Structure 1
Amino acid sequence: MKITVLGSGAGLPSKTRNTQSFIIDLIEEINEYFLIDAGEALQHRILNTNIKPSKITNIFITHLHGDHIYGLPGFLSSRSHQGGEGVPLTIYGPKGLKYWLETSFEITSSHLNYPIEFVEVSHNDCFDISGFTVSTFLLDHNIDSFLYVFEEPVKKGSLNVNKLLDIGVTPGPVLKTIKESTSFEHNGTTYLTEDFLGSPVDGRKISIHGDTRVICSEDYYQLINHSDVIVHEATYLTNEKEKAHQYFHSEIDDVLENFNNVSYGQLLISHISNRYDEDDLKVIQDKLPSEVTLMYDLLDITIPRDSR
């Protein structure tokens, strides 16, 4: 599992940053990608990766500001010609997203060759998507903007082969059958599989925010607590807390202070204003804790198990 950054900028693109888009790479887990937001030039950024658009089967839009959706119509149209024919797609997002896309396609006489299902999200929704639990939380922005929390299912512990050998079970294809069962029979005796398994392995958890002011509430902390990765905006990076609040955004020191209330593995800072050049960002990054990263386009972050 990994996150690929296709766009890390805020509002306007710069020479080095597109506006916000992320991929959660789940190819090893479920042979799919999840796309979160679709900033302008999304399909151009994808050309710099090995991502196959046909394997993007679920899209999650945090909110309807242009820097998060202007790349969506072009991507959806191109997907028709990039292996997507007949491959269903589901798009999750706020009210109005379906209307905007359908109007765009109607006016431009665009036709897709695959079905799209639209799911309108609201506060505290919970979805089961390809075995992952996806939860939503309404953030504090000047239009409805959502946090998506992606939770992988718990994985069974490893088989204790030595313990199986003790009862006469020899290694081979039978081990897979045993692990996938709740009980098994050997030499006339029935055994519970759980007695031969190690401790379950917690699934990984990724929390990706749309644009927002800093949120301080117990239900919010509980939802994102123990995330392996948190993606949070910090449009302002240089002690401009009042300005950030005025424009419904976040300032990095506020974000860091707020996350003292939760446990996490990595914090990725997104939606970075183009007022900061690369030299500015290097100076800021050098002052940050090791678990905090200022995102940049085409950054890949691998998320191992037990990373928090």
Structure 2
Amino acid sequence: MKFKVLGSGAGIPSRTRNTQSFILDVVEEINQYFLIDASEALQHRILDTTIRPSKIRHVFITHLHGDHIFGLPGFLSSRAHQGGEGIPLVVHGPPGLEEWIEATFRTSGSHLNYPIQFNEVADGDSFDVEGFTVTIRLLDHAIDSFLYVFEEPDKPGALKSDKLRDIGISPGPVYKEIKSSETFRHEGIVYRTGDFLNPPSDGRKIAVHGDTRVVRDKAYLDLLDGSDLIVHEATYLHGEQEKAHLYYHSEINDVLLNLSQISYGQLLFSHISNRYDAEMVHLVGEQLSDDVRIGHDFLEITIPRGSR
């Protein structure tokens, strides 16, 4: 599993940062990509990667500000001609997203050659997406903005083949049958399959924020606790907590202090204001720990199992 940054900037693009778009790469797990937010020029950013649009089957939009959605109509249209014909797509997002897309396509005379479904999200929603549990939390922004928490199912432990051989069962198709059952019989004896399995490995948990002020309540922190990766905005990097709060955004040190109350594997800051030049970003980044970093366009983070 990997997390890929296609755009790491806030508000408007700069020469080094496009506005916010992410890819959660679960190709190894389910042969798909999840697209999170769709900034302007998204389809161009994808051309600079090996991502196949036809493998994007779900899009998750955090909120309806332009720097998070202006690339969506272009992406939907391009996907139709990049292997997406006939392959369904589900777009998850706030109320008003479907209306905006339909109006955009109607007035531009655009048509798709694949079915598209819209799933309107709300605070507290939890639903299954391709085996992942996705939980929704309303954040604190000027308009409704959401946190998406993706939780992978636990992976069953591997069979202890040495123990099976000890009772006289050689490797073969029967191993698959044993693993899929709660008990199995061999030479008249009934065995419990769990006694022949290694411990399961925990599924990974990835939390991706839309724009927000720092949220301090316990239920929110409990939802984030134990995440393998948290992606949080840091529109303000340099001690401007009051200004960040005024404009419904976050300041990096305030976020770090808030999240110090929970455990997590990695923390990625994105949505960086174009007021900061590369030198300022570098200076701030040098002060962060190894498991915390400031994102940049085309950054790729590997999320191993058991990373938290």
User: Scaled by the length of structure 1, what TM-score is found?
Assistant: 0.98
Q: How does 1:152-171 map to 2 (within 5 A)?
A: 152-171=152-171
Percent of pairs identical after alignment? 64
Shift of 1:15: 1.0
Shift of 1:281: 1.0
Q: Aligned partners of 1:18 and 1:180: how far apart in 2? A: 47
Q: How does 1:35-50 map to 2 (within 5 A)?
A: 35-50=35-50
Q: Aligned partners of 2:260 and 2:229: how far apart in 1? A: 15
Q: Aligned partners of 1:128 and 1:162: how far apart in 2? A: 36
What's 1:252 paired with? 252
What's 1:281 paired with? 281
Q: Which segment drifts farther, 279-288 or 88-97?
A: 279-288
Q: How does 1:142-157 map to 2 (within 5 A)?
A: 142-157=142-157
What's 1:295 paired with? 295
Structure 1: gaps (5+ residues): none
CA RMSD of aligned residues (A): 0.8
What's 1:217 paired with? 217
Shift of 1:43: 0.6
What's 1:65 paired with? 65
Q: Aligned partners of 1:181 and 1:82: how far apart in 2? A: 42
Q: Aligned partners of 2:204 and 2:181: how far apart in 1? A: 24
Q: Aligned partners of 2:146 and 2:203: how far apart in 1? A: 22
What's 2:75 paired with? 75
Instruction: Write the deviation string for residues 198-232 of structure 1: whole angstroms up to 9, x where unpaired.
Output: 11111000000000000011110111100000000
Q: Structure 1 segments of 4 or more deviating over 6 A?
A: none
Shift of 1:23: 0.3
Q: Aligned partners of 2:294 and 2:173: how far apart in 1? A: 46
Q: Aligned partners of 1:190 and 1:82: how far apart in 2? A: 53
Instruction: Write the deviation string for residues 3-42 of structure 1: whole angstroms up to 9, x where unpaired.
Output: 0100000001011111000000000100111000001111
Q: Aligned partners of 2:207 and 2:84: how far apart in 1? A: 28
Shift of 1:51: 0.5
What's 1:140 paired with? 140
User: Scaled by the length of structure 2, what TM-score is found?
Assistant: 0.98
- The letter of the residue matching 1:109 is G
Shift of 1:182: 2.2
Structure 2: gaps (5+ residues): none
- The letter of the residue matching 2:196 is F
Q: Aligned partners of 2:38 and 2:160: how far apart in 1? A: 45
What's 1:264 paired with? 264
Q: Aligned partners of 1:231 and 1:277: how far apart in 2? A: 21
